[in-house]
Every structure is written in C-alpha cells, then in structure tokens.
Chain A
C-alpha cells in the first residue's frame, strides 16, 4: 500500500485551468439531459424575443424617445442583454447560493484548498443562457445596421469594454446577493430589482428615465458607466475617450461587493449555517 507522501507542491494548478475543468464537468453533467438543455436554451431565446417585439411596436408609433432612435435603443437593449446573460452564465453559482449555504455544500467548499469564489463559480455554469446571448447578438447586428454606426477600432473596443464591464457589474450584484445569504440564509428577492429589473429597464438608455435615475445608476450601482456613456461614444454623440473607458471603471464596483463577501465568509466561520 502507498506510503504517505511528503510532497512539497512545486506548483498549484492555475486557477484558470481549474475553472475550465469545473466548466467542463458542468457541461458534461448538462449533456446527460440533452433534451432538457435544448428546450431550455430555446425557451431563453424566445422569452427575450418578447422584449424585442415590444420595442419594435413602440417605435412603429414613435420615431424617437428622448432623442434616441430605434437603432440606438436596439444597440442598448442588445448589449445589456448580452451582459446580463453572460453574467448569468458565469456567476450563476452566486444566484443560487442560498441553496449552497442551506444544504451545507459550503462546508465542503471550505474543506478544499482553493479560493471560495472560484469554487462557487465552478459549482454552476448556466449554459442554457447561451440562447439569450445568441439572440442578443443577432439583435445587436441588426441594431448596428439600423443605427448606421461607422465601425472603427475604438468603437469595437468600446463594445468589448461594455461587455466586460457590464458582465462585471451584473456579477457584482449576484455576488452581493450571495453574500447576503450568509446573514439571511435566503436569497433576497429585492436584489432582483437590480438584476432582472436592470435588464428590463436597461433596454433604454438610462437618461430617458430622468436625472435622478441617472444619478442613482451612476453613484450607487454603476449601470450608466457600462450603458449610457459608452453608448454615446458608440453612436457618435460624444468623442470623449473617457466615455469609451468608463465601462472598465465599472469594474471597481466589484471591490465593495467582494468586501461584503469576505465579511459574510467571516460570519459563516463564526456561526456556521
């Protein structure tokens, strides 16, 4: 029988490699239920199509809303959809975190020599959201042709930054929701105002809702940084490089979210579930 090893670990498996391994297990699990996966992905595709139809009919009556054209709104809508569905794909583990705490799975996470967040992210990967992402990408293509955007390197970069920043902001809200589970054991439904709600209201550039809303969505939760301002750069309303870079600044939102999470983990360690 094996001798006990005194292995000094020369290297740790890189976090990215481990994450991909987790994802591959999740996808293999999913493929055990192929039909369910296909139906779910189609459902996701159709459900968000609804919202697109709503915008379409609205613009058959009105030609612009607060100065935004049909094409502008479609761009805004599709980018927010992509951001949200990417965040749901990646950060789904936080969204369903109350289950992890209540079923005691978090104890198991604590007995493994890896960062807790990495393990929670790896515990769930919602590939069915791919349906929504694909649909949003199609609308994005349609919207850009409608809005008559002249593509340049910096504009492509802006879209990329929007996707990164927006996915980060939405993931941050999921992280807050998860951290609160350490205190309440239950997910809090009101957090959905900031996730599902933002996805719905985020269809339109935030300044159509007025100044107060714009301020709130800049100072409290930085939606405008990943939506309104870069959109202005994209549609040629502004030439400021700052507007192009603001989505990345939105990632700073993750700092307080992470702090709350650390606080929650400390609480868990002192009181259990």
Chain B
C-alpha cells in the first residue's frame, strides 16, 4: 500500500542569460528561482495494482519516484509505503522495493551480467536458495540464457534492459518502480518487456508503478493512470473511462491540451 498525502517539493534553480558577461556576473551574484516540482500531490495505490504515471517532461514524475524510493525528502506532506516512511529509514525501505531507471544502467559495465547478479545477491543479502530460484526463473522468462554470460557493455539496449529488470527483481521486491523502461527499445524488446511486466504483476502480485511516454506501454500494462502536470495531479482514473474508443496517443495529447500542460 502506497499513500502520498499533500506532498510538496521545491527546488532552487540558478538561472542566467547567455553570454560571457553573464557568466562573470553569475559568479558573484546568482539569481535563484524556486521551482515547484510537486505541488500538493496525493494519491494511494493498493497492493498488487498497476499504475501508469504519465505527464509531459518536467511534470514531476521522476521527483515522485525519487521520493517514493527514498532518494529525496519532500518539503512537506506525508508518505507511507507499506507503513514505512521512505526517506526516514532508507535501508529498510529500499530492501523491499525494486527500481529500474530506463536511462541509467545498474549493471557493472565490464563484467558478465551474472557477476552483477552475484554482487546484488550480497548487497541485498538474498538467501542462496531464493537467489538461485529467482535467477533461474527470471533467466527463463526474460530469455536471458546466453546473455547473462556476456559483459554488459557488449549487450544491445534491448538485451540490457531485460537484464536491468531481472537485476531489480532478484530480491523479490513487493513494489517495482519502472522509470521509462522501454525508452529506445525496438518493437520486439518492447513487447517482451511489456509481457513480462504484465505476467510479473499477475503471478507475483508485485505492485507496478510505471512512468513512460509510450502510451502503448500504458495500454498493455495498466488499467489506472495518474496524470501529472506542472507538479499537480490532474487526473486519476481508469484508462477506459478516459480514452473511450479513440487512439490512445490522441486521447493523451487531448488531455495535455485540456489541462494546458
């Protein structure tokens, strides 16, 4: 169970105009602007639910994921994930969640993927029997047979993403955060990733929170979407209620226009 109540988060950003003179000026005096990344965000997600978290770039999606995964502390508001405050007891919290950043690798670059898995086993203190069972099943389901014996740097993006997902699930987390997991993938890999996530949710009852710009991901994986724009939750509901019968990309573009984000 994930509950966010009135979460607010602001950043201070230094701004300056272009030009060398401006660089010098900013050296002595900087203009800071406060940017509100999250403004009174509240939602709750039940165990075993799949949620698509969508919104344009800079809407606050990543900030939300970072708060839920214990990386950032919000300015104000309450948040409980399975009864834990993510930023208060980071180590307890992160042992029970999995996070996939689509744009950043968590594998060790120069060694075969299976070496990274072994290290994660020690990082998460996964008991040997659970580790080997999870590894075997993930290898089979994500079709990683030969791939995990290859150094990460020599994998294609699609192969690597499947390994990233496996790496985030070795410790059997009850919640999985996926931040743009299909970014840059070809059609075959996208479908493989989507099918795996659906299956993971159905069979392991893992709660899935997915951010993406690919609306087909949303269609394939989630029923519920939360739309965020300019730091505010604009919409939270069932996808079929919103889209009607039209094409989902157009529906979402229409939503963005309606809310002027």
Determine the residue in chain B with the shortest Cβ distance to A31. Answer: B110
Partner of A110, one of B63, B90, B111: B90
Contact of A111 among B70, B111, B130, B206 (CB under 8 A): B70
Mark interface residues in A240-273 (1 if CB within 8 Å of B CB, else 0): 0000000000000000000000000000011110
> Pick the contact of B110 from A21, A32, A107 — CB < 8 Å?
A32
Contacts of A103 in B (CB 8 A): 104
Flag if A269 contacts B122 (CB, 8 Å).
no
B72: contacting residue among A112, A115, A269, CB under 8 A: A269
> At the interface, is chain B mostly helix, strand, loop or mixed?
mixed
Task: Tell me, in angstroms, the Cα distance from A29 to B109 when the chains sit together.
Answer: 8
Residues of A within 8 A of B92 (CB): 113
Quote the shortest CB–CB distance from A120 to chain B (angstroms).
13
B-contacting residues, A1-43, CB 8 Å: 1-5, 7, 9-13, 17-18, 21-22, 25, 28-29, 32-33
How many angstroms from the CA of A13 to the CA of B12 in the assembled complex? 39
Given known pairs A1-B204, A13-B123, A18-B123, the reply for A272 and B137 (CB within 8 Å) is no
- Return chain A residues, CB-CB under 8 Å to B124: 112-113
Query: At the interface, yes or no: B57 with Cβ under 8 Å from chain A?
Result: no
Is residue B108 within 8 Å, beta carbon to beta carbon, of the partner chain?
yes
Give every chain A residue within 8 A of B242 (Cβ-Cβ). none
| Residues of chain A within 8 A of B87, CB atoms compared | 269
Tell me the nearest residue of chain A to B137, going by C-beta: A2
Does residue B11 face the partner (Cβ distance < 8 Å to A)?
yes
Q: How big is the B interface, by class?
A: 35 or more
- Give the docked Cα–Cα distance between A49 and B72 (Å): 47
CB distance A25 to B111 under 8 Å? yes
Contact count band on A: 35 or more
Whether the Cβ atoms of B125 and A9 lie closer than 8 Å is: yes
A108 close to B104 (CB less than 8 A): yes
Kindly count the residue-residue contacts between A and B in the assembled complex, taking CB atoms under 8 Å apart.
103
Residues of A within 8 A of B106 (CB): 108
B109-160 contacts to A, CB under 8 A, are: 109-111, 115-116, 118-119, 122-125, 127, 130, 133-134, 137, 141, 151
The reply to whether B72 and A272 contact each other, CB–CB distance below 8 Å, is yes
Known contacts A13-B122, A29-B110, A1 near B203 by CB under 8 Å: yes
Q: How far is the CB of B228 from chain A (nearest CB, A)?
A: 17
- A25-B119 in contact (CB<8A): yes
**Separation in Å of the B218 CB from the closest CB of chain A?**
23
How long is the Cα–Cα vector from A11 to B109 in the complex, in angstroms? 29
* Contact pick for B206, options A4, A21, A104, CB 8 Å: A4
Contact across chains for B204 and A21 when beta carbons are under 8 A apart: no
Is A114 part of the contact surface with B, judged by Cβ < 8 Å?
yes
Given contacts A1-B141, A13-B125, A32-B151, contact A114 B111 (CB under 8 A): no
Q: Which residues on the B side are within 8 Å of A10 (C-beta)? A: 127
- A108 proximity list for chain B (CB < 8 A): 101, 104, 106
Given contacts A2-B172, A21-B119, A113-B94, contact A28 B110 (CB under 8 A): yes
- Beta-carbon contact of B66 and A22 below 8 Å: no
Q: Does B91 contact A (CB under 8 A)?
A: yes
Instruction: Decide if B23 is an interface residue (CB 8 Å cutoff).
Output: no
Determine whether the beta carbon of A2 is less than 8 Å from that of B134: yes
Q: Which residues of A contact B30 (CB under 8 A)?
A: none
| Shortest distance between the CB of B123 and any CB in chain A (Å) | 6
With CB as the reference atom, state the residue of chain B lying closest to A2. Answer: B137
A107 to chain B: which residues have CB within 8 Å? Answer: 66, 71, 101, 104
- For A116, the closest partner residue in chain B by CB is B90
Q: Is B174 an interface residue (CB 8 A)?
A: yes
Given A110-B71, A113-B91, 20 extra CB contacts under 8 A:
A2-B137, A2-B172, A2-B203, A2-B204, A4-B172, A4-B174, A5-B130, A13-B125, A25-B115, A28-B115, A29-B109, A105-B104, A111-B69, A112-B124, A113-B94, A113-B124, A114-B91, A114-B123, A270-B72, A271-B11
Provide a sorted-by-A list of 21 A–B residue pairs whose CB atoms are within 8 angstroms.
A1-B141, A1-B199, A4-B206, A7-B127, A7-B172, A9-B95, A18-B123, A21-B119, A22-B119, A28-B115, A29-B109, A29-B110, A33-B110, A112-B123, A112-B124, A114-B91, A114-B123, A269-B72, A269-B87, A270-B72, A271-B11
